[in-house]
Every structure is written in structure tokens, then in C-alpha cells.
Amino acid sequence: MPGEVVALGYGYRHASRKNPAFTGLDFHIRPGQRVLLLGPSGAGKSTLLAAIAGLDDEGEHFGKIAATGTVGMVLQDPDSQVIASKVGDDVAFGCENLQVPREEIWRRVPIALQKVGLDLPLDHPTAQLSGGQKQRLALAGVLAMGADIVLLDEPTANLDPTGVEEVVRAVAAVDATVIIVEHRVSTWIEQVDTLMVLTETGSVIMGPPEEILAEHGQWLAEQGVWIPGQDPHFPPAIAKDAPAVIETRDLVVGWDAPVTGPLNLHFPEGVSTVITGPNGAGKSTLLLTLAGLLPPQSGQVRVNLDLGPDPWKWKSAQLAQRFGYVFQDPEHQFVTASVEDELGGQGGDLLARLGLAHLGKANPFTLSGGQKRRLSVATCLVNSPKVVFLDEPTFGQDRTTFRELVGLLRELTDRGTTVISVSHDPLYCRAMGDKVVAL
């Protein structure tokens, strides 16, 4: 039976923060309601989901928040929630933790997989799943648990269009109360009956989508929410002819085995190149190889800088002086206890431009997903690299921060920096795709 969530004057402060993420929240989500939770990047949306799930125990709570029934949560990063090596075992994991009898677990597992449209053998390796399949696998695990409330934190982030459709279709079949965090309203507008907006002042706006958009649409756009039909406008990307700063010759990339290739590509100097393609095509693997962080399976990466080819053979200091890299998971590049220290005490202007100046003393790991992404970009740019590599640079961004981030990257190419990105975002591709490489 679907559950409900009630908040009365609820607030929360992270243990390492001086100010609360939000205070005074009052709302009632009824059983079976399907809610799209909106708000600017950093408004506390993911923190609120964690509180509903009972995961925010280290900080300070104010007021009251209560959820009835079992709560299941699907995270933003598909890879972070794959537990087992086989599909069936992964779906069964949550049930096992709830001490569901073995016979009942294996009755539920195939039913849950069927509900999310994941028609795979129970012994299918999870390592061979695409991003969209991993998100549906996580949702199947939540359904097998018998979750009365399903929480989804940007479940389509980093997914190709097919993966997005798969996840949206799977969520539509869920028989539970559903709360979704997402910046782009158009992705979910047909699947929800309520829009819930967290404002920076701590108040909550709730109502049917058509009413909220009619009464508050312009204000929401100004606050950074992606309202349908109000995408930010950028000058169209222009194809540019320039000497290659990086070239590949019969390049085959992969980890333990080849993923894609042979590739003969060139990346022009001072130009923005966007690498696109479906999940699993090898985009991130190619980016790591171009940046010298992963040796090729075969073939060569030629860099037309002072050190010549094969950047994977360069010393780390030589790489850092010439290349900057933004990983798909921002946390993979945080090494200090404060935002300021991540930039070595430099980059104050960068933090201001990216909306992070007020978080200088905060622990990077307590930032929202969108804030972490912007900090990871800042740490990459602070050393003024000649080539910047970015893996899904705009995930988790609201309308305002997306525009600022793209503007900042475009300024880099205007100054002669080469930008090479991996992205599924059509708007980013239109704005930054001086050259597009489709895998």
C-alpha cells in the first residue's frame, strides 16, 4: 500500500555546516501521490530525500518529518547502487536485508524485473548493463522490497535518450508513492500529479503541474528551474578549422578488453569538441585514454604539445600542467576538507561565477550534486590547462548554473583552450559542439 510523508516545521543542518540546508518545511504527501520535487541547485532537494529515507543521521534535525511504510531510494549514479555481480542477486539484496524468507524473495525478484521491463536472465552479469538498465535494476530492487514510497534522485542523470525513456517508462508502472528530484520538468511532467518547489527561503510551493506552471512559471525559470519551452539560449556552435592538438591513430580503447575502435580522430586546438553516443559505447573510456589516464589497448594518441605522443607515459606532474580533467563522479577528485582548499586558496573568482563563494568553508562532500559538479570544474580550471576534458559536465545543474557553466567553457575556447567533453545533453551539444564525435 502506498505510504505518505508529513513534515511539520522540518529543518536540517549538515554536521559540518554553520547554516541549515533548509528550515520550517511544512507539507503533506498523500498515499499514491506522484511528486516532482524542484528547486535551484543547492536548495536541499537531495538532502530532503535522504531525510525522508532516514539517511541523514549525522546532522542536526529541527521539527518533524515522518514517512509511513517502507521507503526505497534510487540514487543519481547508476554505478553506485549495483551491489552484486548478477542481476537476480542484486534485486534480492534489499529483501535479504529485510529478512524476507528465501522462497518469497525469489518469487518477488522476477516480478520486479518484469515490472521495470528488464527482460534478462537472473544470472546476467551486472557489469554488462547499460546506465539505463542499471537504473531500472535499482528500481527493481526497491520494488522487490515492497517499498511503499519510492524516492528517485535525478535518476536520468548521465543517461542517453533511450536510457531516459526506459527509466521514465519503468517509474510509470510503479504502484507506490513516488517522489522524484529532477531539474528538467519536461522529462517527468506527464508522469506526476504534483509539483513541489523548495525555495531558497525555506517555504514550499505545491500543487497540480498546470496550476504551478501557470502561476509561478516565470518565477521558477528565474530561480533556475527548467520550465518546458524556456531553455536558455546560446549562440549556435560554429564549426572551426584549426590544427589538431590531439590525434588518434587506429586507437582501440578499453579496460580489460577492447570497448571501441579503431578510431582515427582529430581534436582541433582552441575548439570545443563534444563526444556523444549511447551508454556503453566507450565515451568515458575514450576520454580517459585521450587524457593519458588510461593506456590504449592498441593504436596511439598523439599530442601536438611539447611532450609529444603517448600521454599515458607522461609523469603525473607533466599531465597536470597541460591537461585538466573533470570526472563523471565529482567526488573522485576531491582530496581536502573544504571547498577553498580544493582550489589551493586560489580561484575566488571562479567560485563566485559558479555560485559557490558562500560555501568556501564547507566540506566538498556535503555539497549538492550540482554544486559538486561545479566545484570539480573549478578545480580543473584553476591551473589554466591547455586542454580541458569534461565527462558529463552539466549533470545536476539548474537552468541558471547550466548557463553560467557553458558561458565559462565558451570563454576558454575563445582564449585558445581546447575543450573536449562527453555529454548526452542535446542543449549542451548545440551550445558547445563546434565539432561532434558520435560513437
Does residue 232 lie in a domain region? no
Q: What is the Cα gyration radius of the chain?
A: 22
pLDDT of residue 1: 74
- Give, in order, the Cα–Cα distances in Å from 193 to each of 1, 178, 180, 273: 18, 10, 12, 39
The answer to the question of residue 399 being in a domain is yes
Instruction: With respect to residue 110, please indicate whether it lies within any of the assigned structural domains.
Output: yes
Distance CA(61)–CA(15), nearest Å, equals 10
184 plus 254 within the same structural domain: no
Number of DSSP helices (H) and strands (E) in the chain, helices first: 14, 18
Count up the domains in the chain and report the number: 2
**Locate cell 549556435: which residue?**
236
Task: Answer whether 0.75 is exceeded by the pTM.
Answer: yes
- What is the residue range of 75's domain? 5-222
| Secondary structure E strands in 110-183 | 149-153, 177-181
409 and 381 Cβ atoms separated by less than 8 Å: no
CATH of the domain at 179: 3.40.50.300
Q: Are residues 146 and 255 in the same domain?
A: no
Query: Of the residues 222, 255, 274, which one is the last residue of a structural domain?
Result: 222
The reported pLDDT for the residue numbered 394 is 86
Q: 89: closest CA among 48, 46, 132, 120?
A: 120
Indicate the DSSP class of residue 329: S
Residues 6+ apart with CB under 8 A from 69: 1, 2, 3, 4, 147, 148, 149
Say if 204 falls within a structural domain. yes
Task: Per-residue pLDDT tens, the chain, 439 aa: give them.
Answer: 789 999 999 998 887 777 888 888 999 999 999 999 998 777 888 889 989 998 866 788 899 999 998 899 988 777 788 999 999 999 999 999 989 999 999 999 999 898 888 888 999 999 888 777 888 898 899 889 988 999 999 888 777 788 788 888 888 888 899 999 988 888 899 999 999 998 766 678 899 999 999 998 888 888 788 888 777 778 778 877 889 999 999 999 998 888 888 999 999 999 999 999 987 788 989 999 999 999 999 999 999 988 888 999 999 999 988 999 998 878 888 989 889 898 887 777 888 888 888 888 888 988 877 788 888 888 888 888 999 999 988 877 888 888 888 988 998 999 999 999 999 888 899 999 999 999 9
* Domain match, 198 and 261 both: no
274 and 421: one domain?
A: yes
Whether 11 is in a domain gets the answer yes
- Do the Cβ atoms of 417 and 385 come closer than 8 Å? yes
pLDDT at 384: 84
Half-sphere exposure of 99 (CA within 13 A, CB side): 0
What local confidence, expressed as pLDDT, does residue 57 receive? 67
